[in-house]
A = this chain, B = another copy of it.
Amino acid sequence: MLSYAAVGKKIRLGRLLPDGKSLIFAFDHGVEHGPSDFSGETINPRKILEKIVDVVDAIMLLPGMANITSDVWAGKVPLIVKVTSKTSLRPEDARLLQSPFGWVEDVVALGAEAVAATVYWGSHYEDSMLRQWFTVKREAEKYGLPCLQLSYPRGPAIKNMYDVEVVRYGVRAAIESGADLIKTYYTGSTETFREVVKTAAGIPVLMSGGAKAKTLLDFLHVVKSVMDAGGQGVVVGRNIFQHENPKGAAKAISAVVHEGLDPEEAVKKAG
């Protein structure tokens, strides 16, 4: 017999990964990078969200953004609330710390399916982020709320944060710290990413979309590589909302994630 919270976690994970795979739309760039990430009408978060709520499997927002855009997404797409962030206005040496940006009780109040938090493994502030992560985790366990860890190794002792050994370390640390879902960097090849997925020992690994690729096709190849490596999906922001046709881009990515379409075929959906 499962515990009550285990039932809740199972149901919620099922909503986020309907066929065991997921395309999650990340939209926390307004704080992490500032409004310069948005051009033209995309400064209006509603304009972006409207276009993709019917296509993606979930959206990941900070609590304030979730609140003011609920008319657009509520009842249409599951929500993940990210409760940590930091600005890039900060002085350099303070950028390896993610600060609290809300609370698990906010996540529950907002009716979300999961809570997300970033850990910069290897940062001078690793201790501070671990205290934060495990506080979030403790609360989330009570409510059967899955925890998505943005597992990012970053710090003075890390030379290349995309190195497969480094990424794997972050992923291992993520599962040992109770992540129910992991978002991490692409390691450059299907072969190396397969090692990353293996390291996760069954916990779903989702690739972080990162900066806009040169072309959507390029990005779709990366997505395909992630799926071929056994990844459970991707968390994408800029490669959707900075595309001229966000809905189309989302559809193309979704086709690769869920249907395994070839990038060349999928890209046509972006019309």
Contacts and interface: CB of A to CB of B under 8 A. Distances in A.
Interface stretch (A85-93, A183-191, A206-214): A85-93
B99 A30 contact: no
A266 to B, nearest CB: 31
Interface string A94-130: 1001011111011001000000000001111011001
A178 B64 contact: yes
A180 to B, nearest CB: 9
Interface residues of A, number: 71
Interface string A138-175: 10010000000000010111100000011011111111
A8 interface: no
A94 B156 CA distance: 11
Interface stretch (A13-21, A38-46, A238-246, A253-261): A38-46
Given A89-B153, A89-B157, A201-B68, A35 B124 contact: no
A168 to B, nearest CB: 5
A199 interface: yes
A157 B90 contact: yes
A89 B175 CA distance: 16
Nearest to A83: B134
